[in-house]
A and B are shown apart, each in its own frame.
Chain A
Amino acid sequence: MPLFKKTTNRDKKALIIGIDGVPYTLIQEYLGRGYLPNLKAIVGHGHAIHQMNASIPDISSVSWTTFATGVNPAEHGIYGFTALRPHTYSLTFPNSSDVKAPPLWNLLGKVGGGNTSTLAARYHKKVTKPYRSIILNIPHTYPAYPVNGILISGFVAIDLQKAIFPDSIYRYLKGIDYLIDVDAQKAHQDKEEFLRDLFSCFTTRQEAVKHFFREEPWDVFVACITETDRLHHFFFDAALEEGHTYHEAFVRFYRELDQFIGDLVTSFRKSYGEEAFLMILSDHGFTSIKSEIYVNKFLQEAGFLKLKEDGQFYEKIEEGTKTFAMDPGRIYINYRDSYPKGAIDRKEGDQIREEVKEILHSLRNPEGNPVIDRIYAREEIYRGPLLEQAPDLVCLPNDGYDLKGKLESESVFGNSVFTGMHTWHDALCISPPGVTWDGKPSIEDLADVIMQYFID
């Protein structure tokens, strides 16, 4: 039975709003406190609100790429903000050209195409007309690439001219002083000034969203608000504590977000009716940090990692290293056939993985509580042709312990300017009426629902 009511293809419109790093539990709390009247009206209007699992690891580049392609990292190829160049310890920064599966907007737009992912295989022949998309500020879409419509890249976009497709929208964006992202470095020096910038960046983002929503033709409109994630990194401790210096500003930001979503959804309903597709999602949750955990320092102290003084980042790895970590909890075995200073033969792999798992599970905070909740072997969580590029193990911490991939650190535990950390289990999805899942949904499931809407 079709999931969605039959409409003519011409009538099909989808509005998808991304709110980066917004936790399900915080939204439920704020709905209860009455801070979010517009979201409350949406949820009361037949939309279900779900707690959702993010990608593993639970960071924006991986999670948004998983959302966009509807496949897991072993198919789309993005495992983190950083990677190592094959057979070296040289750090690279994966970008949009490294994504090996088509995003749903290019499947719907009939751009490129063919049977290039499991999602594409299910749907590419069923999309009967090219749908036009506007994609605004989705992370890991930089440099911008051709779409049937408009693409404005999100984090970590640098140069606005390379962050847009087509070029003709440059003049408008320049004219409103469009900001790809707030300067997070400012928060390290002056939190007040950073907050002002954050609100101002959000204002410009809203202006751009409303402009393209109103002025351009489209069938699929996907817009992401990144400022929530930035607010959380530096102020999450203020989310629930009413006496906190920044609580009022934190809640004010959420009220503004609620108003923005309310206005956009009202325009959407007015133009395209109740049957049009609305989805709101976050890419991961957030919680307060108890301590940052420098995984490489722990591995070093346990004798699994040896570092030299010179070299940049992972080029510091020395002979005798068994394993090393990359942000946030990706563990790589230093295999002889994979790395210049590899020390482990493939046949020893299973044994080393067990040793590493055991030692990481033994990591306790000063009160004796375990830091790591679970450790997955790559074949347990990933499936696809790019499995070989996956980390050998991936750790998910208990809430409050923020796993860091940094190599140099004085100690295993530490705190810094950050007060919030990502969570895997507490992302959010507000789904269209009638959409349900057996069990808890995952961000990987959403593209399928969007595709179904357009082909039913």
Chain B
Amino acid sequence: MGVTKDKVTIKIPRPLYDNLKEIIGGTGFNSVTDFIVYVLRDIASAHKCAEDEPLTQDEIRLIRERLKSLGYL
């Protein structure tokens, strides 16, 4: 794993890289790296959320409704 000032290089298998390159064709992702960073960030923040989230999905739904009813959403 190579390290620069604010980025690190992570190695992934070549066939997986090729496969991802094919998947992102025409999707708006500029590179496989951009796609991987996007997916990993999503997983990381969802994981953090699942661990720390003090609100249930049902509560979040009701909070959305309350905020909407007062014009905040």
- Interface residues of chain A, those whose CB is within 8 Å of chain B, are 59, 81-82, 85-88, 90, 92-93, 95-97, 143, 155-156, 158-159, 181, 183-185, 187-188, 230, 233, 292, 313, 319, 327-328, 340-341, 402, 404-406, 416, 418
| CA distance in complex: A216, B69 (Å) | 35
Contact segment of B8-16, B18-26, B51-59: B51-59
Query: Range of interface residues on chain B?
Result: 20 to 34
| B41: nearest chain-A partner, CB-CB | A87
Instruction: Please tell me if B3 contacts chain A, counting CB pairs below 8 Å.
Output: no
Q: Mask for B43-63, Cβ within 8 A of A = 1, else 0?
A: 001000100101100011011
Main secondary structure of the interface of A (DSSP, over half): loop
Q: B26 → chain A, closest Cβ, in Å?
A: 13
Q: Is the CB of B49 within 8 A of A156?
A: no
| CA distance in complex: A82, B70 (Å) | 13
- Interface residues of chain B, those whose CB is within 8 Å of chain A, are 28, 38, 41-42, 45, 49, 52, 54-55, 59-60, 62-67, 69-73
Q: Is the CB of A88 within 8 A of B41?
A: yes
Known A143-B54, A340-B41: A158·B73 in contact at CB below 8 Å: no
| CA distance in complex: A406, B73 (Å) | 6
Which of B59, B69, B72 interacts with A158 by CB under 8 Å? B59
Q: Is the CB of B55 within 8 A of A85?
A: no
Q: A295 → chain B, closest Cβ, in Å?
A: 13
What are 20 A-B pairs with beta-carbon distances under 8 A? A59-B72, A82-B72, A82-B73, A93-B63, A95-B54, A95-B55, A96-B54, A97-B52, A155-B66, A156-B63, A156-B66, A156-B67, A185-B65, A292-B71, A313-B73, A327-B73, A328-B72, A340-B38, A402-B71, A418-B71
Known A88-B41, A184-B70, A406-B73: A319·B28 in contact at CB below 8 Å: yes
Which of B45, B54, B63, B69 interacts with A90 by CB under 8 Å? B45
Could you say which of A95, A158, A187 has the most chain B C-beta atoms within 10 Å of its C-beta? A158
